[in-house]
């Protein structure tokens, strides 16, 4: 090379030449400086002397293949200096070809030191994935780690626990001693956690005083509980920071894969929910997420969503069950009972879907739909010359709405032909217990509109005489569970007799429900109850069958003259 060029290259780069076997034949001063070797040590030595051990063998195989084929090779290489330190060089290796023979003669390499750039990059990458204060993986990196751990557990069929850990009383330290102390405390907590967990486990800091632990290969039994107890004990041990004695504890929520077979985000959310339970139960403890409860909740959501669709798709309807006077055979009216005509599934009774819906405001929408339907039906019967009454069941949540009476007034106003006294609202006694004052005020307001009330399923709730007194319902319905057994069970017979006596004492009408045989009717009449409803009179029927049934109904002879 021309001396002028060489001077320029020496000034700019780390430069060397090697023979075909990789033995060094020339180095410049920069080469000596960065590698820490003298020129004498380098000349004649093989280039492998600088090998850092960081690159896979395949890396060099690729490089030599290119060079031997006469191609220029470029890449970043990590070398090891004489004192053992590592440095990175951006390298361009050029095979010099003899113009006469066309053979590669030697290799020259021009390198630039990129160690600082590499370190900076590494620090930046590290910072993206770690919490600078504690050095633990942060939320971003946690998500990768959890996904990896989960994939591994799935593949190998091993259990995995995801724990959300929140420190108890950390805010007090921050407020009382300042944030600097708080930070030192967090560093100590992080160290204790790392120390107590296995190499294969993960500790990450989510934010503030929240940490996530991923424990691998724990079975639900002893191992997991032992590990969690160890963590609690380690964190609850006294802290001495800047000569201050501090104490702290942690609340941990845990969820276990595969029992909780969800994605990473959901597992963290479940662990978080469980952590709140641990806090509520008094802190310094762990709580396992309840998968069954969650599944039930999910099923509830699904049921409610389906019923909402059913309501909007007009799949709900009312069936009507007659109420009669046993002795005279007179049809007094009907009870409207909800049914769901579920496509492909047939007629679904209310017990199969209402209990879930009753926990939500959908029951109010359904209740208003039922009231509207009932008023339409009353209007139709009135036009057909049938002065029957109609009872509908009102759910607790619906009745407790502050605008219940007002909404009822509007519905009645929309059906001006209907005599409000024909509408009977059935409520169960447990409704009233929650909010007796409000309910009795609401009942008064509705009675002022002219509608009537029945106390349904009487005797099954917590009824007491004082409730009976304060709930001004005109009718009491004896629950079918008592009526059913009056033929065999002396206690139920006594109860039924007592309820009838009570109704009479309070000046209420009494009706028995769940009448399943003629004999039941005879006994009831003997006890002084003449009104009843039950399968032996008629099962609930669609509106279209009501007229024909009423025309043909005759009471059994036994009831006419008992
Ligand atoms: P409930 O108001 O006590 O209604 C009486 C239930 O007993 C009805 O069940 C009826 O079909 C059934 N039943 C009638 N006679 C007999 C009998 O002789 N033997 C037996 N074993 N059962 C008889 P259903 O229709 O399945 O309704 C169950 C419950 O669902 C009702 O109890 C009521 O609490 C609720 N429900 C029904 N419709 C509605 C509604 O529109 N809104 C609300 N909120 N609840 C409703
Ligand atoms: Mg009822
Ligand atoms: Mg009932």
pLDDT in tens, 386-398: 999 999 999 988 9
The CA 253 to ligand 2 mean position distance, Å, reads 44
pLDDT at 4: 82
Strand stretches in 306-435, DSSP E: 316-325, 331-342, 346-348, 389-393, 423-428
Q: How confident is the model at residue 562 (pLDDT cuts 50, 70, 90)?
A: low
Q: Residue 462: how many CB atoms within 10 A of its CB? A: 9
Q: What pLDDT shows up at residue 529?
A: 96
Q: Residue with the nearest Cα to atom 8 of ligand 1?
A: 337
The answer to whether 246 and 185 have CB atoms below 8 angstroms apart is yes
How many whole angstroms from 493 Cα to the centroid of ligand 3? 18
**What residues pair up with 532 in beta bridges, in sequence order?**
324, 512
Residues 6+ apart with CB under 8 A from 376: 415
pLDDT band at 1 (very low <50, low <70, confident <90, very high): low
Answer for the pair 510, 478: CB distance below 8 angstroms, yes or no: yes
Strands, DSSP E only, in 52-197? 73-80, 86-97, 104-113, 160-168
Structure confidence by residue, pLDDT tens digits, 157-215: 999 999 999 999 899 999 999 999 999 999 999 999 999 999 889 999 998 999 999 99
Q: How many helices (H) and strands (E) does the chain have?
A: 23, 22
Q: What is the mean pLDDT of residues 54-77?
A: 91
Atom of ligand 1 nearest to the CA of 392: 41
Q: How confident is the model at residue 76 (pLDDT cuts 50, 70, 90)?
A: very high
Minimum-distance ligand 1 atom for the alpha carbon of 358: 44
Cβ neighbors of 535 (< 8 A, separation 6 or more) are 514, 515, 516
Neighbours of 271 (CB within 10 A): 25
The CA dihedral of 279, 282, 286, 287, to the nearest 10 degrees, is -70
- Higher-scoring residue by pLDDT: 438, 188: 188
| Residue with CA closest to ligand 1 atom 3 | 457
Helix or strand run (H / E) with residue 477: strand 475-478
Partners of 334 in beta bridges: 322, 390
The alpha carbon of 350 and the centre of ligand 3 are apart by a number of angstroms equal to 12
Atom of ligand 1 nearest to the CA of 338: 38
Q: Which ligand is nearest to the CA of 321?
A: 1
Query: Measured in angstroms, how far is the CA atom of residue 403 from the centroid of ligand 3?
Result: 25
Q: Provide the 8-state DSSP code for 422.
A: G
**pLDDT top residue among 50 and 432:** 50
Whose C-alpha lies nearest to ligand 1, atom 27?
A: 350
* Domains, the chain, with CATH or none: 3-116 (3.30.450.20), 130-289 (3.30.70.270), 300-560 (3.20.20.450)
The pLDDT assigned to 438 comes to: 84
Q: Round the average pLDDT of the chain to a whole number and report it.
A: 92
pLDDT at 500: 94
Looking at the predicted structure, is the pLDDT value of residue 142 above 70?
A: yes
Q: Which residues pair with 215 in a beta bridge?
A: 161
Residue 521: helix, strand or coil by DSSP?
A: helix
Q: What atom of ligand 1 comes closest to residue 395's alpha carbon? A: 44
- pLDDT grade for 461, boundaries at 50, 70 and 90: low
pLDDT digit string, tens, across residues 273-330:
999 999 999 999 999 999 988 888 888 899 999 999 999 999 999 999 999 999 999 9
Q: How far is the CA of 393 from the centre of ligand 1 (A)?
A: 9
**Closest protein CA for atom 34 of ligand 1:** 393
Centroid of ligand 2 to alpha carbon of 456 (angstroms): 6
pLDDT at position 464: 63
- 467 vs 200, residue with greater confidence: 200
Nearest CA to ligand 1 atom 22: 514
Q: Residue 370 CA: which ligand 1 atom is closest? A: 41
- For a substitution probing ligand 1, which of 321, 350, 396, 431 has the most ligand atoms within 8 Å of its CB? 350
Quick: pLDDT tens for 349-382.
999 999 889 989 999 999 999 999 999 999 999 9
Nearest ligand 1 atom to the CA of 318 is 41
pLDDT over 90 at 465, yes or no: no
| Mean predicted confidence (pLDDT) in 67-92 | 94
Residue whose CA is closest, atom 7 of ligand 1? 514
Question: Is residue 385 scored above 70 in pLDDT?
Answer: yes
Give ligand 1 pocket residues (Cβ under 6 A).
321, 337-338, 349-351, 354, 370, 392-393, 395, 426, 456-457, 480, 513-516, 533-535, 540
**Ligand 1 atom closest to Cα of residue 363:** 44
**pLDDT score for 3:** 78
* More reliable by pLDDT, 102 or 477: 477
Pocket residue to mutate for ligand 1, from 333, 353, 393, most atoms within 8 A of Cβ: 393
User: From atom 42 of ligand 1, which residue's Cα is the shortest distance away?
Assistant: 393
| Ligand found nearest the CA of 323 | 1
Instruction: Calculate helix-pair angle for 115-129, 139-156, nearest 10 degrees.
Output: 80
For ligand 1, atom 13, name the residue with the nearest CA: 514
**Residue-level pLDDT at 548:** 97
Q: Whose C-alpha lies nearest to ligand 1, atom 23? A: 514
Q: Which two tokens stand for residue 317?
A: 């309807």
Residue 433 confidence (pLDDT) above 90: no
Task: Using the atom order of ligand 1, give the atom closest to the CA of residue 367.
Answer: 42
């Amino acid at each position: 090379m021309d001396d002028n060029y060489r001077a320029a290259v020496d000034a700019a780069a780390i430069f060397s030449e090697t023979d075909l076997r990789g033995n060094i034949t020339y180095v410049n001063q920069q080469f000596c400086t960065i590698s820490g070797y003298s020129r004498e040590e380098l000349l004649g030595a093989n280039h492998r002397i600088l090998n850092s051990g960081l690159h896979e063998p395949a890396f060099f195989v690729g490089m030599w293949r290119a060079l031997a084929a006469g191609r220029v090779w470029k890449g970043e290489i990590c070398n090891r200096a004489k004192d053992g330190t590592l440095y990175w060089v951006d390298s361009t290796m050029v095979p010099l070809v003899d113009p006469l023979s066309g053979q590669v003669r030697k290799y020259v390499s021009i390198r630039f030191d990129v160690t600082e750039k590499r370190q900076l990059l590494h620090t930046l990458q590290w910072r993206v994935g770690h919490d600078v204060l504690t050095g633990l993986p942060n939320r971003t990196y946690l998500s990768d780690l959890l996904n990896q751990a989960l994939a591994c557990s799935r593949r190998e069929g091993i259990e995995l626990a995801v724990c959300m850990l929140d420190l108890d009383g950390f805010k007090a330290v921050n407020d009382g001693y300042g944030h600097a102390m708080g930070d030192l405390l967090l560093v100590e907590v992080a160290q204790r956690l790392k120390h107590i967990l296995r190499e294969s486990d993960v500790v990450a800091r989510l934010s503030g005083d929240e940490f996530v632990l991923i424990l691998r290969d724990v079975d639900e039994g002893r191992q997991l509980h032992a590990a969690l107890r160890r963590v609690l004990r380690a964190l609850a041990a006294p802290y001495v920071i800047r000569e201050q004695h501090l104490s702290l504890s942690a609340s941990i929520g845990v969820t276990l894969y595969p029992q909780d077979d969800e994605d990473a985000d959901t597992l963290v959310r479940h662990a978080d929910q469980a952590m709140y339970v641990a806090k509520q139960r008094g802190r310094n403890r762990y709580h396992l997420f309840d998968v069954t409860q969650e599944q039930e909740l999910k099923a509830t959501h699904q049921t409610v969503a389906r019923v909402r669709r059913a309501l909007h798709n007009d799949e709900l309807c009312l069936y009507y069950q007659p109420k009669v006077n046993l002795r005279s055979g007179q049809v007094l009216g009907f009870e409207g009972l909800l049914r769901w005509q579920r496509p492909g599934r047939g007629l679904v009774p209310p017990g199969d879907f209402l209990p879930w819906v009753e926990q939500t405001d959908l029951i109010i929408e359904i209740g208003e739909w039922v009231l509207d339907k009932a008023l339409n039906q009353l209007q139709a019967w009135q036009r057909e010359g049938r002065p029957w009454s109609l009872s509908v069941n009102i759910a607790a949540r619906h009745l407790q709405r502050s605008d219940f009476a007002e909404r009822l007034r509007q519905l009645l106003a929309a059906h001006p032909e209907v005599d409000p006294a024909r509408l009977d609202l059935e409520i169960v006694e447990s409704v009233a217990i929650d909010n007796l004052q409000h309910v009795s005020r609401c009942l008064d307001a509705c009675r002022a509109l002219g509608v009537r009330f029945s106390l349904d399923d009487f005797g099954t709730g917590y009824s007491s005489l004082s409730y009976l007194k304060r709930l001004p319902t005109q009718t009491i319905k004896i629950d079918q569970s008592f009526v059913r057994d009056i033929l065999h069970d002396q206690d139920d017979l006594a109860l039924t007799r007592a309820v009838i006596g009570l109704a009479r004492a309070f000046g209420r009408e009494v009706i028995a429900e769940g009448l399943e045989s003629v004999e039941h009717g005879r006994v009831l009449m003997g006890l002084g109850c003449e009104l009843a409803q039950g399968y032996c009179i008629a099962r609930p029927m669609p509106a279209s069958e009501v007229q024909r049934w009423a025309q043909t109904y005759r009471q059994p002879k036994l009831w006419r003259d008992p």
